[in-house]
Structure 1
């Protein structure tokens, strides 16, 4: 049902506000985008985004929540992004010829449930104020639609026992407040390897900070 719903949403949005390509996705309880559906988007662009850039995206659901609004243009999101993250994400946009992006988030009782990304590439102009107003009107209908979805059981958050032995060691040391250099020294690992393990832990738990990661693994 959701596959058809997502495609219908993309087609409806593209008829009202033209875009070079669109993406529909669900938002899980960790505020992570998942179950993507693409319309007119090059799959190589999407794979590159998921593999290397999604954590630098200022329009990812966890950051959009902080904006406290349902329709967010890229220029607004990037204005509050850190310098290094902004530089990396601008590199992705330039690499794939993306001129502008706007994010539309649908909520149920203040929880984000689904999102739609509209992208313009090449010489196409940025989204203007009138188009953003149109998207806000469509977002109201999207809110009403997703509130009718049946409640789905999501996969439980991973426990310490579900991690690899090395990740368990790392998590136990994180609980003691060790820095990356201390972790590398304690586990006899290179600093880059420690950072890779940390990235995997953050992705598995959906945590956005060390404090949140420890809290989720050691409730």
Structure 2
């Protein structure tokens, strides 16, 4: 099997590919949700990192589909228009400053839970020209959500935790160093790692220096190569 820099996020990439094959999509984002409802490990389909950065740093609390609003609900799929009247949406800062400049108008979110707690969200974005989600499309999304949630909880998340635990046991990496390594393996550069983890560039470089020391490598390329070999073997 050929090594892929996307190995740690394969499930997210494959899920986005599946959704985009089932219905028209302008952009889509699949991200994990921490207990505090923060985004982590976002994988983007047909979009840019800047959009995700804008959202997480400024606009997420304005979002009518923010996961915090669904914390105590069992909703599987929700659309933006089901949460706010269109005329009120278009008057909002969220629409004027974030949605409109990024050319999306319609949104449908799939919520994935573990033990009743939201652990991941797949957000499907559409430009105005694609139109709103139809009843049949929402029925389709509701039908695939349980399988995706089951796969997330029984395959992807346990494997991800097992892989992180393996690196920790072998190299004594801290949780933050594991975060940096995971993003590095996925192809992120220092600036992207800093943005994703809300760290300064100097701090990212310090973490990388410690990872190099603990793993006994001399370069990023050697670290990525060794890590991918370990992941594929295990």
Whether contact under 8 Å (1:107, 1:113) holds in the other structure is: yes
TM-score of the superposition, structure 1-length normalised? 0.62
**2:151 matched to which residue of 1?**
145
C-alpha deviation, 1:143, in angstroms: 1.3
C-alpha deviation, 1:31, in angstroms: 2.0
Greater length-normalized contact order (CA 8 Å, ≥ 6 residues apart): 2
Matches within 5 A, 1:19-58: 19-58=25-64
Answering whether residue 119 of structure 2 is matched by residue 113 of structure 1, we say yes
3-state DSSP class of the match of 1:133?
A: helix
Could you tell me how far apart the structure 1 residues matched to 2:126 and 2:153 are?
A: 29
Aligned residues: 154
Whether contact under 8 Å (2:108, 2:125) holds in the other structure is: yes
Bigger fraction of residues in helix:
2
C-alpha deviation, 1:42, in angstroms: 2.9
**2:92 matched to which residue of 1?**
87
**1:71 matched to which residue of 2?**
77
Residue 142 (structure 2) aligned to one of 121, 136, 141: 136
Could you tell me how far apart the structure 2 residues matched to 1:64 and 1:14 are?
A: 24
User: For residues 66 and 37 of structure 1, do their structure 2 counterparts lie closer, same or farther at Cα, with a shift above 3 Å needed?
Assistant: same
3-state DSSP class of the match of 1:62?
A: helix
Could you tell me how far apart the structure 1 residues matched to 2:127 and 2:33 are?
A: 25
TM-score of the superposition, structure 2-length normalised? 0.59
Whether contact under 8 Å (1:99, 1:124) holds in the other structure is: no
Residue 96 (structure 1) aligned to one of 102, 108, 112: 102
Superposed CA deviations along residues 19-68 of structure 1, whole A, max 9, x for unmatched, are 11110100111122211000101333333223321121111211133453
**2:170 matched to which residue of 1?**
none
User: For residues 50 and 42 of structure 1, do their structure 2 counterparts lie closer, same or farther at Cα, with a shift above 3 Å needed?
Assistant: same
